[in-house]
């Protein structure tokens, strides 16, 4: 792993124990696919990051400076995963955010791991809290996903489907949910909980998917099920509990359309 940390424009070797991201999860992050020394989805990640800092009231360091450090970090990398973590900065004890905190941010470059071409999905008991103030952005409070992911590991599956506290299908632990029914790809809304995935956003803009309130029965009776995120691309689900799905041409078609726009997804068997 290649790592670098910054306070504003200053490169620092260590993150302080007073960092609010460490103490309270007071921050945001983006996990991005590196392809041939570039981040093809960076504009979409930056747009979501801007939304996040606006909502949380965190200062955003100069994007031009961030982009320059990203270019240095990923130069010569054929394939990988870059994580950008941005916190409010250091502060004293207590929840109240300091007004003069300088944002602290880090870049970490990881290898691109392999993953099965189809996923077995575990139905997680851990639920996502409904919180519109945080819904959509990729904030650092991820204990729900941590608990859900532990369930997935115990079940021996590759991913898990999460529901909100009212029982509606919401997402996977680290991906958006895609349900194919009656010739349409449907994905749950993210205004109450969940993350507005950048790849999900692309699919919606292209008219390849549409937002719909989904029920457990919609998932159970789906003609096909898939997950998507900005590192994995689109991956089919082969099993959820006792329900199994065979390979479906609608998934192959969706993968092909994505690969035409972003060639890095021409091989879908990779994951975050």
Q: Which of 63, 85, 110 is a domain's end point?
A: 110
Range of the domain at 167: 119-265
The pTM assigned to this predicted structure is 0.93
Give the other-Cβ count within 10 Å of 29's Cβ: 20
Instruction: Please state the domain count of the chain.
Output: 2
pLDDT of residue 205: 97
Both 64 and 90 in a single domain?
A: yes
Asked which of 110, 140, 163 is the last residue of a domain, the reply is 110
Name the nearest CA neighbour of 204 among 189, 224, 191, 218. Answer: 189
Q: How confident is the model at residue 9, as a pLDDT?
A: 85
Query: Which residue ranges in the chain fall short of pLDDT 70?
Result: 268-272
Residues 6+ apart with CB under 8 A from 100: none
Which pLDDT value is given to residue 268? 57
pLDDT at residue 41, rounded to an integer: 97
Say which CATH number the domain at 92 has.
Answer: 3.30.470.10
Strand partners, 11: 6
């Amino acid at each position: 792993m290649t790592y670098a940390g910054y306070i504003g424009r200053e490169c620092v070797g260590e993150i302080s124990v007073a960092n609010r991201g460490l103490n309270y999860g007071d921050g945001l992050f983006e996990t991005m696919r590196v392809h041939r020394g570039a981040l093809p989805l960076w504009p979409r990640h930056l747009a979501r990051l801007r939304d996040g800092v606006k909502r949380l009231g965190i200062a955003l360091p100069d994007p031009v400076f961030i982009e320059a450090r990203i270019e240095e970090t990923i130069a010569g990398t054929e394939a990988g995963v870059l994580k950008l973590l941005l916190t409010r900065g250091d502060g004293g004890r207590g929840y109240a955010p300091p007004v003069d905190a300088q944002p602290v941010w880090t870049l970490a470059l990881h290898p691109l791991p392999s993953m099965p071409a189809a996923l077995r999905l575990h139905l997680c008991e851990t639920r996502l809290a409904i919180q519109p103030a945080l819904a959509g952005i990729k904030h650092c409070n991820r204990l729900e996903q941590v608990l859900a992911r532990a369930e997935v590991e115990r079940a021996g599956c590759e991913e898990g489907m999460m529901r909100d506290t009212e029982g509606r299908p919401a997402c996977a632990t680290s991906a958006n949910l895609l349900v194919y029914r009656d010739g349409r790809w449907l994905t749950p809304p993210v205004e109450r909980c969940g993350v507005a995935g950048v790849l999900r956003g692309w699919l919606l803009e292209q008219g390849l998917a549409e937002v719909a309130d989904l029920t457990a029965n919609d998932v159970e009776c789906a003609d096909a099920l898939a997950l998507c995120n900005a590192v994995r691309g689109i991956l089919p689900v082969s099993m959820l509990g006792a329900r199994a799905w065979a390979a479906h041409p609608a998934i192959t078609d969706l993968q092909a359309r994505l690969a035409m726009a972003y060639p890095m997804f021409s091989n879908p068997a990779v994951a975050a």
